[in-house]
Structure formats: structure tokens, C-alpha cells
Amino acid sequence: MMQNVTILLFITVFFSGALGSKAECTYKAVGDTFMIPLNDAEEEIPPDSDLTWTHNGTIVYSKKGSHVKIKTHNINTRGSLILEKLQIIHSGEYKAEGFNGDGTSLKGSSLQLCVRDPVLEPTVTVKCEESGAVLTCGAPNNTETNVVWIKNRNEMLNVTNTVLRVDSSELKHRFSCTVRNEISKKTSNDVQPGCFHTGPTSEKSDEKNNNNNDWSKETYLFGLDLWWTLVIVTGVGIVMLIVFCLLCVCWQKKGRKAREEEEYRLTALVTSDQSDQTTERSERLAKSQRPLPPVPGPRCPPSPPYM
């Protein structure tokens, strides 16, 4: 009976139905502390008053004057029932009844309490199928949850199942889901289905589906291949270019040096052919002009013959 009421309330809250229900549930999370007010008066109750609190019809607090008979939960000076560290079992109907010392009613209220576990963060699992994928929003141990799917950060308001079917043209989008109950809300991480659609399944079934699969598989694989090929080719190309340039510089230096040396040698030869008088001087000159011993520099490979 109570369960029916709860379900009705759930529907009322989530579908904004105009179902007039007497006992509206007050939702609280497991672990919370909650105080149920005795009435709206918010006044201290006189010490000589009698007061009884019931939960599902069972007395959880009772006093006659200053004599406390049952105290499953505490009350405060205003007669409010204090529920600490709420558990699911604390759900249900709470009623207060009391009288002042002079016999007048304390006008106790009643309240329907619904204690809920906060939802756990859901995860989206992907099951690749022939013509797309099946996404499941997994929220462990959650009942009475409300699922909203999110595609590329936009809520898909027309989908409220825990299972979402996605066709192959949508596999590149990002999906996540939000699970909520009356007291909490959690959203999963984004998932990009990215099914490859390989395997034996693509051989059977009707032609239209197969065409779809081949298309999505080809573009996906081609995109991946092209990307990596580009990266590798570019990398190798750059490295080769750098090596080639270094070699060029080396060879050029070597070639120039060789040419210069030859020139000096030629000059020396020409000067030594002249008269004896000038030989000494020219020899000195040649000596002074002869290049210095080579400075140790970058080691270069032997010059190719065409340089």
C-alpha cells in the first residue's frame, strides 16, 4: 500500500503530474540528520505536556509530563523529533500527538519521509553491433532513477531509457548519461563509441546494412591510417632533410678548403720559379701565407667526387 503511494509520488514529482496526493514525501539522503517539527507553531512545549511520536504506527517517542517512557529518537524543546544518521528504514509516516497539562491539543502534525541513497556515478558501456552500437547507462544498485542521455553536451530529451541505440553515422559523437533521483544527480564521463565493425558479422545480413558498415569502417580506418602515415612520413622527411643539410655544409667547407690550399700551392710554385734573388723572400712569403694547420672541426665524410 505504502509502496504504491511512493510510486505515485515518484511519478508526481518527475512527470509534474497534477495528481493531488495527501502525503507528499519529504526526501532526505542516507546519513542526513532531519528534524520533524511537531507543528507550525515553533513554540516550546510546556514541561507538563504529554507527547507521542509514531513511525508507521509504532511509538518511537513517548512522554507523560516529565516522565519519558519510550525514546527511540530524541526530541528538542519544541517537541520536534530528531532523526540522526538517516537510514532507508527510517522512511515512512511520522505522526505526533500531544496534550498540554490543561488537556488542550498540541496540534501534532504528520509527515511522510522518504530516505534515499544518493545515486552512484554511472558509466556508459558500449556494445558494438552490425549497424551501430548499443550504449548502456550503468548505475549500480540504483532503482527509481531517472536517466537522461547527453549527446555532444546536449540533452536528448526524448530518450529516458538506460539503453540507447546509436546508428553507425553517430558513432563519432560523444555520449554521456545523467542519473538522478530525488536527492542527487551524477553524470558519467563522455564516451565516443568508435566501433570498427570488423569481424564476421559484416558478411551476413542485408545489403543495405553491409554497405553502411563498410562505409563507416573504411572512413574510420582510412582516417586513422592516413593520419599516422602523414606523421611518420613528415617526421622521417624532416630528419633526412636535416642530415642532408649538415652533409652539404660539411662538403662545401671541405671543398672550399681544398681549393684554397691548391691556390696557395700554385702561388708558391710560381714564386719559386723566379730569380734566385727573390727566392728567399718569396719562400718566406709563401711560408707566411701558407694556411695554418687545420683546426679540429666537425668530422666530415669524404667529399663526393662532384664537389
Ligand X SMILES: *[C@@H]1O[C@H](CO)[C@@H](O)[C@H](O)[C@H]1NC(C)=O
Residue ranges binding ligand X (CB under 6 A) = 2, 55-56, 89, 91-92, 120, 140-141, 156, 158-159
Instruction: State in angstroms the smallest separation of the CB of 120 from ligand X.
Output: 6
**Whose Cβ is closer to ligand X: residue 5's or residue 35's?**
5
Angle, alpha carbons 194-198-204 (nearest 5°): 125
Q: What contacts 49, CB < 8 A, 6 or more positions away?
A: 65, 79, 98, 99, 100, 101, 106
Q: Least distance in Å: CB of 224 to ligand X?
A: 27
Residue 28 C-beta: closest distance to ligand X, Å: 13
Report the Cα 16 to chain-centroid distance in Å: 31
Grid coordinates belonging to 65: 509530563
For residue 109, the surrounding DSSP H or E stretch is none
Which helix (DSSP H) or strand (DSSP E) does residue 276 occupy?
A: helix 276-289
Of the candidates 201, 226, 202, which has an alpha carbon nearest to the alpha carbon of residue 214? 202
CA-wise closest residue to 270 among 256, 288, 283, 289:
283
- Estimate the crossing angle of helix 276-289 against helix 207-272, to 10 degrees: 150
In whole angstroms, the minimum distance from the beta carbon of 247 to ligand X comes to 60
Short-list 65, 72, 82, 78, CA closest to 38? 78
Closest to ligand X by CB, 9 vs 45, is 9
Instruction: Select 57 or 291, whichever has its Cβ closest to ligand X.
Output: 57
Q: Which cell goes with 2?
A: 505504502
Nearer to ligand X, 106 or 132 (CB): 132
Residue number closest to ligand X, CB atom: 92
Structure-derived torsion over alpha carbons of residues 3, 51, 32, 183, reported in degrees to the nearest 10: 40
Shortest gap between Cβ of 167 and ligand X (angstroms)?
9
Question: Shortest approach of ligand X to residue 157 CB, angstroms?
Answer: 7
Nearest approach, Cβ of residue 190 and ligand X (Å)? 19
Q: Which residue lies nearer to ligand X by CB, 105 or 152? A: 152
Do 108 and 38 contact (CB within 8 A), yes or no? yes
- Of 86 and 106, which CB lies nearer to ligand X in the complex structure? 86
Query: Which CB, 80 or 91, lies closer to ligand X?
Result: 91
